[in-house]
Chain A
């Protein structure tokens, strides 16, 4: 009897938790799951399934400080690629990252995935922000 009550209460709590998910977190979940698929098809071959990179050839995506400090430069980086020296996790990288033919919403999705995986926790990178950042590409 007691057991049934506990299960019942737990179920209620679960339903509450699900239905009370804020609009933001639903949006986040949508961005994140689309981003995860985009990551697999566009980035994973180089940066790895765990964002581990490839030795000194391709940087890992685990440098949370770099991701945090460059969050507004990342949309341009993903769109236009990059060639030059980068210091990630105290190691230098000089190989070339190719450009990507992705729409702003896709860039927002994939960056939301990256910025909330591999140790990063930056919340939703929304499409409006990405649009603004893209207008300021150098």
Chain B
């Protein structure tokens, strides 16, 4: 009898572990969602519309203007920083360099670092900063725009995952989060950019996103 219980226990445990391992392989989708109905081949189907990063227009370290069309079909990591930041930014950049070095030759992965001090961080300052970090090419963009726009984008769009996951009020922009965005511009994760362990999780999660079927493939 007790052997039977043991056996059941083992099976339950095993299936519980199994369950965990499969769920950890897909990432949540953050933000608001909305159900829309549409008709396909005479049948009504319900789709879920997810919150996405809205259009923006900014300038990168090369002086090129960047809009979110440049991110079509790209997985990217966004963060918020300023070049004269003495406290957490060096740690964030050290960790982001790991992301950069892992994916710099992967055309569908990018990094976007938004400056929150565009007054000081001109295109010239951003370029110099990128050079000193050892960042070349177009994989990692340091971008600037109007301060208000950047803050709105940060708080309303990028950091939804953070505000859903914690009860800490406001000020997320200054806390060094790395935000993972998928090819359909949906937020899929947020990570403490000052924590090397969380950043290696991010590096793994990019792989998970790369393995997701292309949008439209199963529709």
A residues adjacent to B (C-beta < 8 A): 45-46, 48, 54-58, 95-96, 98
Contacts and interface: CB of A to CB of B under 8 A. Distances in A.
A107 B216 CA distance: 61
Contacts of B87: 45
B91 interface: yes
B90 A57 contact: yes
A95 B132 CA distance: 10
B88 A45 contact: yes
Q: How large is the interface on B (under 10, 10 to 19, 20 to 34, 35 or more residues)?
A: 10 to 19
A90 to B, nearest CB: 16
Interface of B: 84, 86-88, 90-91, 93-94, 97, 129, 131-134
A57 B130 CA distance: 10
Contacts of A48: 94
A68 B22 CA distance: 56
Contacts of A54: 90, 93-94, 133
A98 B132 contact: no
Contact of A46 (B86, B97, B132): B86
A56 B131 CA distance: 8
A3 B132 CA distance: 60
Contacts of A98: 86
Nearest to A47: B90
B132 A56 contact: yes
